[in-house]
Amino acid sequence: MSLIKSISGIRGTIGGKTGDNLTPIDTVKFAAAYGTWLKNNSTNKKLSVVVGRDARISGKMVQELTMNTLTGLGINVIDIDLSTTPTVEIAVPLENADGGIILTASHNPKQWNALKLLNNKGEFLDGAAGAKILEYAEQDNFNFSEVDDLGTITRKENYIDIHIEEVLKLKLVDAEKIKHAGFKVVVDGVNSTGGIAIPKLLKKMGVEVIELYCEPNGHFPHNPEPLKEHLTDICELVKKEKADFGIVVDPDVDRLAFIDENGEMFGEEYTLVACADYVLSKTPGNTVSNLSSSRALNDVTKKHGGEYKASAVGEVNVVQLMKDTNTVIGGEGNGGIIYPESHYGRDSLVGVGLFLTYLAEKKISVSELRKEYPAYFMSKNKIQLTPEIDVDEILKAMEEKYKAEEISTIDGVKIDFAENWVHLRKSNTEPIIRIYTEAKSQDKADKLAHDMIKEIKEIVG
């Protein structure tokens, strides 16, 4: 069991001992630290926070603890209950709230949950704010409100519908064009809130929907990370139903993957590439993704006359670089689409709207669209950490060994070779070292990853 505290929030497994897991006491402490930070950084007399959750089994318990802690601090809560991460992000500015909390452990298995924290723009907190909240949590010295000053909880249950309407208002999302395309689509909602949001959005755009694992009960039918090895059921169902394609999201609906008409993965990395290709064809400009994302985005951006930049891993880092470079679209290669015309957050609903409009406009199949992009192949691996492993020493050794190559150290170590690259970094969300590689064939990407893992193990001894 585990508890991970970082500047982006607190994430842990349910049950177990206080301080080692995400127990009720840890939940209250961290919610109180966030509420205290809000109160110390606002001139508003009465603060409000939007709180939403994915469909995890522990979600209701964690939500009640969080909301009642905030009201105990005198903060009003806008409870949007079953929701998605991008829905909460959109709700914060629409409600003129001072912040937001999403209760989700994203792609982690069902025993995990987390508090992910937003500012008054509905964006993830920067490093300084996150560090201050961690400091407050460690001090464990909170000043709660007296009885006449307690906050209130207001329930608003229609925010997924509001989110859908916001997506349909986007100029580059053409629901009429999508309707005329006559798409038939299979949706895997991994029994979380994507099973509510994605089918609703598709039906609003006139798409025939076949639902797979769309009951929001929190019992994930497969590993919730939308990777090929976890998605055999939808790949088979797309072929069986002769659907045009399949759509897969993670439990909090900020990662988006497509299955082509042949039951093959479109490639999670290529979700952003395709959406960017469409957006750039209408609104030329720059793009941003993180260091672990495919070179294909750089290629597509250059094709449209724009400039590509890479940030450190982490949504807050991508967003900041997007703002600094006036980017028209960006995101992360794990299927995260960030489209500033909507908001600065990864949003699968926005991604679906853009992708389907592009597909309808081009009048080609998903497999044909995939063939239009450079053929890169990625291998994503991990090494489980133990207390005696010194990650910094490993990274320094790898940097020194490959110093003749193009190196970036803004986030771990990325080594750019002529034909491929490798990115080594310590995860912010799990006790692991991530090892991402990309090459022009799967065999070459896998071999590069295997070689790097072997070298790391030799360093560790």
Residues catalogued as catalytic: 106
Strand-pair category, 413-416 with 421-426:
antiparallel
User: Coil, strand, or helix at residue 319?
Assistant: helix
**Residues sharing a CB contact under 8 Å with residue 371, sequence separation 6 or more, in sequence order:** none
- How many whole angstroms separate alpha carbon 277 and alpha carbon 182? 22
Residues 162, 94: contact at Cβ < 8 Å?
yes
Q: Which of 447, 54, 424, 419 is nearest to 255 (CA)?
A: 54
- How many whole angstroms separate alpha carbon 267 and alpha carbon 246? 12
**Residues sharing a CB contact under 8 Å with residue 146, sequence separation 6 or more, in sequence order:** none
Say how many C-beta atoms besides its own lie within 10 A of residue 169's C-beta: 10
Q: Which of 312, 254, 289, 280 is nearest to 90 (CA)?
A: 254
Give the largest CA-CA distance in the chain: 66
Map tokens 């999508």 to a residue: 178
Residues 42, 98: contact at Cβ < 8 Å?
yes
Map tokens 């072929």 to a residue: 239
Strand-pair category, 99-103 with 377-384:
unpaired
Map tokens 């991604």 to a residue: 351
For residue 60, report the phi and psi dihedrals to the nearest 5 degrees.
Answer: -65, -45
- Asked whether the CA dihedral 434, 439, 443, 448 is positive or negative, the reply is negative
Q: Where are the beta strands (DSSP E) in 153-244?
A: 153-155, 184-188, 208-212
- How many whole angstroms separate alpha carbon 273 and alpha carbon 375? 12
- How many whole angstroms separate alpha carbon 324 and alpha carbon 121? 17
- How many whole angstroms separate alpha carbon 422 and alpha carbon 416? 7
Paired residues of 434 in beta bridges:
382, 425
- How many whole angstroms separate alpha carbon 174 and alpha carbon 324? 29
- How many whole angstroms separate alpha carbon 300 and alpha carbon 294? 11
DSSP 304: T
Question: What kind and span of H or E run contains 275?
Answer: helix 268-282
CA-based Rg of the chain, rounded to a whole angstrom? Answer: 22
